[in-house]
Structure 1
């Protein structure tokens, strides 16, 4: 009874937001039309992406792939039950859920070179190293050092490893029906992929551990990214949003984007996010969108109004995936990914058109 009351209140709260005419420039209710009430929210008030077990080609195209595209998560998706899950990784024990690499199996490919990112504080380096060295660093590196095998093309792996990663049938259901690129991602939690958008549709399959993903529709993500860039450069810039550009991995841009996307108290006050980073005028920091009244503060200009309603109430979706789960991320949808827990987290993805 208590749970039903909480869900009912959450549903009513978000319906009030959708009805608010001032939000329609940035909150497109059609995008969220498939989320039938009641639906659940995170502790910070972020809507949870609804889960499904399977999806058929016709349903996928009509409800998710075709415009307006919508993200989809499938639990224990049959095409995501890949050999790599059991052959590459040791599952965490029930009493201590720390997934690990199955070194005995992978060491036969130890001489194969893989792209690895090593970061510690503000230091970031991307290099190629043997798989055996990556496995050793993953086990021995200090806790404050992140070692991440990131965006390693599947088609450049040894043939036997490629065979352990079966392309999901979902990638054949696009307009062209081709998966033109794919990658694996393996590292010790917490792993991190910054807020970005992909040039085409994406299917992410979890192999080991858990990852949490925040997603934003294209217009909202554009506004968040534009604001973060303008804070950093104070001038015109090219909106490239490369998936793992070095400027997005360390430094001020990463900090701003991380705070805007992952702030968990549900208030989404941009002024507070930026003020804590410094160099923001105090008068500007006082301007924020009042989500309760739906009215701007006294003295706010039309430009302030538009900017703060766009960023200050940036609506995102969230989902957490585990081994055997698959997440479809539509073309143009912004997303950021974090590895959870302890031990190894691993995933594979396929970009398709």
Structure 2
């Protein structure tokens, strides 16, 4: 890691931040005051980190996750609390062997999948998840069969499950109360929230390069995520380069499942995370940890990786 110091127009009091060699660090605001945020980030449309643990008091940070007393132990979900909301339907992304599928299932299904994959003493595949194959049909459970999904054979689990972009307003009120909208979102701009989502999954997690149509406050509830960002023009150039490389014609505005699988996913990941040319010229990088927040301006391209072990959890608010 290289310690670098950077000054971006509008950020008058930058701090030292560690990043990979050649990548530009995202500056950290000196405080989380609304006027500071508005004048040094929101109005000039510049990415910034909020001071460490600015959002550490969000109820979800304390209530949704458990941390073992053992030093370095991975974060886990607080099942005793979250299982009370098991009937809630949530969107899930399931990837396996370069295949990808989005489904809607109960929150209890997600919790059982996570528990299964975290278990160190499992004698047989989990009846729901280990046998899951994207595209397989659900079959009725019988007295002689505990397999929820049909599959040709039971193999060692390779699928990964990610509760991704679940709207906060679709959650039960108690969970919504755990994620109150920050004052920065309510008071820095026009005061209206375009949308908001939660993201829960076991590291490593990955979100491909994309851009948002509204400013975005991204907050880490648990675990650690690394974010790479590009100015609008630079990100558009990276996207165009990837489309040319794979012979694609995807829209930069309307992104679908093509960015989550196949040639586009691999080419995007290589260009953003594995290309020394990109790393040395146009990419910004930052790390967001538990209780931390990142402001991503409208139109800035970004790709996000959950790193380490154990659970990662994030929430974001898109606002005007």
Give yes or no for TM over 0.5. Answer: yes
Q: Which of the residues 42, 47, 68 maps onto 2:19?
A: 42
The 3 A distance-change label for structure 1 pair 122 and 84 is same
- The answer to whether the Cα contact below 8 Å between 2:55 and 2:219 also exists between their aligned partners in 1 is no
Bigger mean CA deviation after superposition, 249-258 or 58-67: 58-67
Structure 1 segments unaligned to the other structure (5+ residues)? 15-29, 269-310
Q: Which of the residues 98, 102, 109 maps onto 1:133?
A: 109
Secondary structure, counterpart of 2:197 in structure 1: strand
In the TM superposition, what is the alpha-carbon distance from 1:50 to its structure 2 partner?
Answer: 2.4
Q: Which has the higher contact order (CA 8 A, sep 6+)?
A: 1
In 1, Cα distance between the equivalents of 2:76 and 2:56?
19
Structure 2 segments unaligned to the other structure (5+ residues)? 118-129, 131-156
Q: Which of the residues 226, 239, 260 maps onto 1:249?
A: 260
| 1:172 aligned residue | 186
- The superposition leaves residues 48-93 of structure 1 with CA deviations (integer Å, 9 ceiling, x where unpaired) of 22224632222222221123x1111113444452111111100244
* TM-score (normalizing by structure 1): 0.73
- The superposition leaves residues 94-118 of structure 1 with CA deviations (integer Å, 9 ceiling, x where unpaired) of 4233100000111111111110111
In 1, Cα distance between the equivalents of 2:11 and 2:243?
32
In 2, Cα distance between the equivalents of 1:82 and 1:38?
25
The 3 A distance-change label for structure 1 pair 185 and 37 is closer
In the TM superposition, what is the alpha-carbon distance from 1:175 to its structure 2 partner?
Answer: 3.5
| 1:337 aligned residue | 304
Secondary structure, counterpart of 2:174 in structure 1: helix
The RMSD of aligned alpha carbons is: 2.5
In 1, Cα distance between the equivalents of 2:165 and 2:310?
19
In 1, Cα distance between the equivalents of 2:246 and 2:86?
41
In 1, Cα distance between the equivalents of 2:212 and 2:279?
24
Larger strand percent: 2
Alignment of 1:1-353 (within 5 A): 34=11, 39-40=16-17, 42-52=19-29, 54-67=31-44, 69-141=45-117, 144-233=158-247, 237-240=250-253, 242=255, 245-263=256-274, 267-268=276-277, 314-353=281-320
- The answer to whether the Cα contact below 8 Å between 1:39 and 1:47 also exists between their aligned partners in 2 is no
In 2, Cα distance between the equivalents of 1:92 and 1:183?
27
- The answer to whether the Cα contact below 8 Å between 1:41 and 1:47 also exists between their aligned partners in 2 is no
In 2, Cα distance between the equivalents of 1:159 and 1:59?
32
In 1, Cα distance between the equivalents of 2:312 and 2:291?
13
- The answer to whether the Cα contact below 8 Å between 2:14 and 2:29 also exists between their aligned partners in 1 is no
Aligned pair count reads: 282
In 1, Cα distance between the equivalents of 2:309 and 2:272?
22
In 2, Cα distance between the equivalents of 1:38 and 1:186?
30
- The answer to whether the Cα contact below 8 Å between 1:179 and 1:350 also exists between their aligned partners in 2 is yes
In 2, Cα distance between the equivalents of 1:93 and 1:229?
47
The 3 A distance-change label for structure 1 pair 232 and 112 is same
